[in-house]
Structure 1
Amino acid sequence: MKRFLQFVFSLAILCAFMYPRMAPLLRQRRALARAPRVAHTAGSGAPGSTQSSVPSGAQRERVVSFASDVSLRKDATLEVREEFVAHSEGGYFRYGMIRDLPIDSEARWDRSLVGPYTRDTGIRVNILEVSEDGAPISYEQGSDSAYEQLRIAPDEPLAPGDHRFAIRYEADGVLQFLADHDQLYWNSVGHYWRLPVDEAVLRVHLPPELPAEVVAAEAYAGGRGATPGRFGGTQIERNRIADGLEFRMANLGPAQSLSVSLSWPKAFLTPPALGPLAHDGGLLIAPALLLLYYLIVWLALGREPQRGAIAIQYQPPQGLSPAAMRYIRTTGCDGRTLAATIAQLAARGCIGIELQDGKYKLTRLSAPDGKNDPKDLQPPLAAEEADLLGTLFEDGATLVLDSQNGNQLNRYLLHISERVQKPLNNLYFTRNARWLAAGTFASFLTAMGMGLTVHGRNNDRMTLLFLTWWFFFCFFFLGLIAVMALLPALGRMMRGLGGAKEAAIGSAMFAAFGGGGAAVLWQLKSGASLAYALSLAALVAINIAAFPALRRLTPRGRQALEQIEGFHLFLEKVEQDRMQRLTAADPHAAAASEFLPYAIALEVREAWGDHLAEACYATTTTR
């Protein structure tokens, strides 16, 4: 299991490093989609200027008429229908029709009404239909920084003459719910057409809940800094219609527009209950259902056997080695497990331990000719002790333990872990792995399904799916490592039992990848939505939290744990002082102490054992 986790985690890291090199290829299509905009805007003048750099031969090209019907809904979303007639001579529209929806900061240019410039205004659109001359036509919406761009097929010059286009779409996040009033700002034509507009019409349709009498309206025509209500010396035409207001202006110049700002008192329209989470808020159902699933499983599994009275035990529980006792107590193997097993081999007379220049020299005391064979010991060595004894001295009768050699120590710990876990799992406790696997697999499928269906700024599905996959797997396994290794190491460090180096390395790694994860979540928030990013993070966090939550002690495990705690009391109250005095008098005698391995395993403070345990803390905790 440990090797599998290492493989998957390494794969995620590799993908994270490869993605910056792959990203230009993934974004190539997006860049090509933006090229036409650059081509027909590169020579334009200031937003409010007249046409000064229209391509040669395109002077007669223009937008004959532009009508925008904006319907304000009770739920604070908009439905917009744009109908415009473009006259082409084959010059300006040589890349076909490209319509930039007025939803980015460049198009929402009145900073006094919409606030400072921002890369993402938070507005999301859902295209409902696009037609040319009354017939449906295909289209392609841009992605990320070109999100507002709508390329209407075919990608070829418009034929000379008039072309009537209609676009209908929903817009979410346009309304502003301010402290003392609500406000709608809409710039109908936008910013990117460098063509004159013969006539622009903007109609705002109000919902029944919002009477026109309470609405204050200001219309603007021209470019940035336009005077409210006037276009040069001409008054903007304003009319009442059955369900709202209509504004008209003729002879707009290139990059000029007709916009309106509406405001009304609070309480007529209800802001989204989820606030900034309203867009894609339904995605939050996924982590809620996952939490409900684990809650039902947790209740169905029932509570662990209740802890009884702890009676002091003067001997270790029968049949449990120091490594087994630590595994039952902590559900894991770590540096103290390795140190306790080595100390147990010394206490049983199988090896000698000598401290040399801060390192431990281990010497095998059993004769190679079979005399004094560990197999003849009574009671026999535990399986992990016999396995470690053979592994330690594969290359000779002596070995120097180096705390800097983490790979060597990890190899020894892996041998112990494999021997300890198998006989104890399901006998003393159960992890209920099948329920965890089902929840995790369902969460992964849900996350990928969210990536396939979400409507956000980033319409590049491959990029969105890759970021979703990377975050899910990388932080799922990183979270498990934190729960199983980092948190126990921090706990030991706070209790003064070593593990500071292990905790420091783990914290640094977690902080580094945590920063990367935060960046990915921010990218997902910008490319999809805040609800999407939070839902994905919640799916990962809930699955990680479920691992310790669903672990259950069996009745036999509860009995063994009570005996272990009773023996721990004995070591703390009675034996600890004797071992400390023995260490001070003769370290070699301390190494052979009968109860020292158990003191190390159960974290009873004792100088010699603590030093040995600290030397073994280059190992990786396994669970």
Structure 2
Amino acid sequence: MKKLLLIFGLLLFPQLVFAQTPAEDWSIEKFDAIIDLNSDGSLQVSENISVNFNVEKHGIFRVIPVAYKDEFNNRIKIGFKLGDVLVDGKTAQFSESRNSKEHYIKIGDPDITILNDHTYTIDYKVEKGVLFFNDFDEIYWNVTGDTWEVPIKTSSAIVRLPGGAQVLQTSCYTGASGSTSSDCGIATDGSVAAFAAKDYLTVAVGFEKGVVAEPTFWEKLRQSLLNNLINLVPVLLVFIVSLMWFKYGRDKKMGAVVAEYEAPHNLEAVYLPGILTPFMKKPEVSAMIVTMAVNGFLQISVQEEEKSGLGKIFKPAKVVTLTKKRESLGLDSAHTYLFNLLFADGRSTVTNTELKNSITETEFKELTTLVQDRIKLENIYLKKSLLFVGLFIFFGIIQIFVGVNLGNLYGPVTTVLFVLSGVVTVVFGFLMPTITEKGLELVRLVMGYRLFLGTAEKYRIKWQEEENMFEKHLPPAIVFGLTFKWAEAFAGLEFKQPDWYRSDSALTNYSAIAMDLNQAVVVSLASDITPKSSGSSGGGASGGGMGGGGGGSW
């Protein structure tokens, strides 16, 4: 702890000198907060707000949000319980009120005015203080809020985890709501993370899963349904729509799936997942890069990052370098677009470090659109009449509208269920019926090709004499998550080092290439290229998460 305080002090010290803020009546000199995570997922928060009154004031007021919007923009209510309220370490006179969005705390005596320096302490507890992700959980807390009447000169926060839990990742953001500036210092020591800034402050602390028990979907749903029988209505609507689809909308049965030794219609790997589902996710850029490498447009080189000093005790990271071998002539539009993004500004080589965060979300959406447009050319799915689609969309929107308006009365679960019911109605409208006979056959062929890639060793006698077999089918194996299975099929066969892939690791067989390629390109490089967003991983913004609000003087 002493080490943490020393580091934290060093972070804070350079920020104690700054230009005088132009507050006329009063100023906020410091805003310090301590946030303790409890094992039940609640947060115990203690705020110390140091102010200076240049004119006579009764005190300050603090506005604390008691609801926030989740990733789907739905409002989530959180429990709030006010604890001690102090002025200069002594019990203060205060009043409180609340509405559906905020808790209002007015501190001070209406019959007494004060001047000069004073410190206000506000202790409170909030429920549901943790956000849950697949690989980690997170406290994403707006420490100061950004709706104060005056600027905050310095701010700090200390976040403490329970039971010896370890901090995995941290981020902090400064400025007004929506700002991605990170003019703040961070120090961590085991289960404690400390932050310092000279502005409004939002912090994010990620930690391992299991520290706080995550409520199951059924636990959340059960409690809401007990208090809101109206929630059965959207469930019933989904049941009715499902029956309609079962009776009228199911596609014809597909023929037997057998192993296919080639991708149908000479489709490149990135398009194959979109054949199997009309709701394709983000394109697998690693497969696109390997496709271009195999076809001679670029070369992939992998080497361990050189480190010095204390850095040598950590496992070295992989540095991936892409080298342009020829121009993009001959590539389709999606691969050409990605090729030009990789080698923008006339460069002929680029590393994963240079690519990190260089491709914008807009550019990635354009790449996704190009991939989807190519898939549409296969005419897999039937085109619906505007009237047919319109009726389902209209009925779905009605359900969504009802849910949003009932949400204020019955709570967020009601809104979620009605919205889901509306979305399901719209989706079923597009799915009744869905696939063409040509499309059904194409799906069968892709499934057969996927079967071959996963069981290729059984059919080795039919393909082992073909040239460049490994690299030819490697990109499709990547998109189907069968990279290692595909490499295992080459066990015992003569190994030929491909000229499109170079690594300082010992590559003596195809499984070694698969492992090296997966770590360096499929995981590392693709992650650097693909835009992403979270709080503690650095994809958040000031004003995000829970907490926040603001205040003023009176």
TM-score normalized by structure 2? 0.35
Q: Higher helix fraction: Structure 1 or Structure 2?
A: 1
- Greater relative CO, 1 or 2 (CA 8 Å, sep 6+): 2
